[in-house]
Structure 1
Amino acid sequence: MSAPRLLLLSVSAGAGHARAAEALRVAAQAHYGAQALHLDVMDHVTAAFRKLYTDYYLRLVDKYPALWAQLYRITNETPADAPGARLRRGIERLNARDLRKAIAAFAPDIVICTHFLPAELLLRERERGRLDAPVWVQVTDFDLHALWEVPRMAGYFAASDEVAYRMRARGLPAERVHVTGIPIMPAFAEIPDRADCARELGLDPARTTLLLMGGGAGVGALDEAAATLLALDVDFQLIALAGRNAAMLEKLQALAQRHPGRLFPHGYTNRIERLMGAADLAVSKPGGLTTSECLALGLPMIVFAPIPGQEERNCDYLLEHGAALKAVDATALEYRVRELVADPARLAAMRANARRLGTPYAARAVLDRVFARNA
């Protein structure tokens, strides 16, 4: 019997959807012998549509979060059969014709979507008889927005019991809803030695270490947050991760020159587990993938500047389960850091809560279900 052909479809609106798809691709090849291909839908749409869907989204959530909050609410409350929703899907189809060709060229046996856009597109392809492969949907946040509720999919994977409950409450078939967690890379399955990670990064293993993150795109004023933290009369060293934001990395590097031995800037890395492994506490935006990675490694978080909508819901999940604190502004951030660095017992309790919530083998749980159904 030939190896199954698995297609992973993501959208590069933020880094999380692609990271989930990559985790599934790696696990499928390593543990199931699948022929796995990951496609970013944005590589197969028109340039104008790509700019609108990715660049505009990132600018909106960074510069105009209140406007994004309204759009999030409106789209969540708009019925799928409303004229505006039908128009949106029609525009998406017109701009994604090359995607259909790429899918046909690979001829997948199974498709998993880590974003709702390809799921919506492929629903129509299946209904028109142009795609036989079953399509599965992996939700990548600890929340359920209405756009994820694409009907007649082979199955749906939820980050938590509550997300699964919401799926069933909104009419998705109960037998097709599965709680797996959010897929993350195999490197997060084992908690690395903290001292080894620290020495590898040029850090002092004996000092408290904070990790400041803003997501794969480096959204947010990380340099301002770093400056706020470094002004505290608290002894710690700070790793600052700028992601793919080159301009932000330059700002952080300039700041590091004024704080030698305390601030360690990094750009995009595919070894994030080593940075997390060296840290005692993460100060971060609560993206779905970042949250899942921190939980898998038992890394407590101080959540700051969550994007309205999905990240606020991720934040709520962490707060409810005692794995994070929230900083609503710079003053609150200062207070939270002082509070936790001075209270190792509380930090240890948050670490234990985080590990309890972690799902490091989510990718395997998803693929076990997908390949069993396709056998």
Structure 2
Amino acid sequence: MTRTTILLLSVSAGTGHTRAAEALRAQAGGAGDVEVIHLDLLNFVSPLLRLVYADLYCTLTKVMPTVWRALYHLTDNAQPGGLGHRMRRWAERANSRQLLYEIEQLAPDLIVCTHFLPAELLSHLLASGAVRCPVWVQVTDFDLHRMWVHEHMAGYFAPNDEVAFRMRGYGIAADAIHVTGIPIMPAFSIPAQRDKLARELGLQPEVSTIILMGAGNGFGNVAELARHILCTWDHVQLIVLGGRDQQTLAELHALAASHPGRLKPIGYTKEIERLMACADMIVTKPGGLITSESLAMGLPMILIAPIPGQEEHNANYLLEQGVALQASNLATLTYRIGNLLAHPEKLAGMRNRALPLGRPGAAGQVLDTVFTHLEKQQCRLHIQSSSSLL
């Protein structure tokens, strides 16, 4: 039996790119003839490049969002062959030689990139012949920044028809574009039972339940936001994610003790789908992955504190589709939550619009596409080899 090796390349600038790659790995995990390797590109570059793409990105988006917005639009509108982009690409290649060595050692049959940086580096390596296997690109937001588009890619996976349209506008061949959605974990394809899961969390299934994921400028931290919601409505339950922040989790547990049975603090989890199954709405930043997961679960969203650029575009898409509302400050958020709680028919309408947009099978579609392409490619190579013997 021939074993197929898939290399997934992500960048840990934010969590969405990594989670999309992990979803693909989980989807392929059951196949005995497939080996899936997921690498964070930042582990194979110089400290300087890691500083620029991780630390600087996080600093700009959190501390200087206006600067990040300007940089996002500047790079999106700049000519790909311009001096600035050429110098940047040269610097990226000079600081990521270890990646080429790692790829040579792994000798994958195909590569899927869930961030634009590995796609950009591999485009140059494909052109030079240093990399010969097919390379695919998975866009992880409902937006298309120009830096995602590169020559020599085997194909692109788009989150929706609009992004696919914009890909064609950048000159990508229509038959190389596949509208699959954004890969999320296979568990989102499995029907969940609200009553059972809510009781396991110590919550009452019949009580209105809100998931709270993060806060941001104008909202305080997640514990402060949870306290405000609990004190404003006495008939609401909260599931609040504190991640790996031990101080935040301690604050949430203290808050839960003062509101018995109404708050469930959650640390880092890989089972967000179980929490979503218990909820009526989610308050979250509009990242590509969390919003894709919410759509798959038919979960109405209230969007807060979007990162300028890609998350703003995500928010615009979701608002246009009627599956989300947006709150710019605490007063607006209070109104949005109260209005939805008072009008359950609005919540039902948002849920009904969200479900058809959800693509819980995105990871499976991506893998089916790359495997089919690989089989055709291998078949062509076999035919060419056979004909050369005649």
TM range, smaller chain: over 0.9
Alignment match, 1:3: 3
Cα distance in 1, alignment partners of residues 272 and 125 from structure 2: 37
CA offsets per residue over residues 96-142 of structure 1, 9 Å max, x none?
12211211111001000000000011111111111110100000000
Between 187-196 and 160-169, the greater mean CA deviation after superposition: 187-196
- Contact in 2 for aligned 1:282/1:300 (Cα 8 Å): yes
- Indicate if the aligned counterparts of 2:126 and 2:152 stay in contact, CA closer than 8 A: no
**Paired residue secondary structure (1:278):** coil
1:234–1:338 CA contact under 8 A, matched in 2: no
SS at match of 1:242: strand
Q: Match for residue 340 of structure 1?
A: 340
- TM alignment of 1:29-48, pairs within 5 A: 29-31=29-31, 33-48=33-48
Mapped partners of 1:25, 1:154: distance in 2: 19
Find the counterpart in structure 2 of residue 188 from structure 1: 188
The answer to whether the aligner puts 1:124 opposite 2:124 as a matched pair is yes
SS at match of 1:102: helix
Q: Is the 8 A contact 1:191 1:297 kept in 2?
A: no
- Counterpart for residue 62 of structure 1: 62
Q: Which amino acid aligns with 2:167?
A: M
Q: What does 1:231-246 align with in structure 2 at a 5 Å threshold? A: 231-246=231-246
Relative to structure 1, the CA distance from residue 262 to residue 56 in structure 2 (aligned partners, 3 Å threshold; closer, same or farther) is farther
Q: After TM superposition, which residue ranges in structure 1, 4 or more long, deviate above 6 angstroms? A: none
Identity of aligned residues (%): 52
**Gapped regions of structure 1 (runs ≥ 5):** none
Contact 1:212 1:241 in 2 (8 A): yes
Cα deviation 1:64-99 (Å, max 9, x = unaligned) = 222211111111111111111112112211221221
Give the aligned partner of residue 133 of structure 1. Answer: 133
Matches within 5 A, 1:231-270: 231-270=231-270
Q: Does 1:71 align with 2:71?
A: yes
2:250 & 2:285 partners in 1: Cα distance? 20
Cα distance, 1:149 vs. partner?
0.9
Map 1:292-303 onto structure 2 (within 5 A): 292-303=292-303
Q: Name the SS of the counterpart of 2:225 in structure 1.
A: helix
- 8 A Cα contact 1:157 1:177, kept in partner: yes
TM-score, with length taken from structure 1: 0.95
Change (3 A) 1:363 1:122: same
Aligned to 1:151: 151
* One-letter amino acid matched to 2:28: A
Larger Rg: 2
Paired with 1:75 and 1:250, the residues of 2 have a C-alpha distance of 41
State the Cα distance separating 1:312 from its structure 2 match. 1.0
Structure 1 vs Structure 2 CA RMSD: 1.8
Tell me the residue number matched to 1:312.
312
Alignment length (residue pairs): 372
The whole-number CA distance in structure 2 between the counterparts of 1:312 and 1:221 is 20
- Taking the aligned partners of 2:200 and 2:16, their CA distance within structure 1 comes to 26
Offset at residue 44 of structure 1 (A) = 1.4
Unaligned regions of 5+ residues in structure 2, if any? 376-390
Alignment check: 8 A CA contact 1:281 1:301 kept: yes
CA distance in 2, matches of 1:63, 1:255: 28
Q: Which amino acid aligns with 2:19?
A: R
Whether 1:211 aligns to 2:248 is no
Matched, 1:352 2:355: no
SS in structure 1 at match of 2:308: coil
Amino acid paired to 1:268: Y
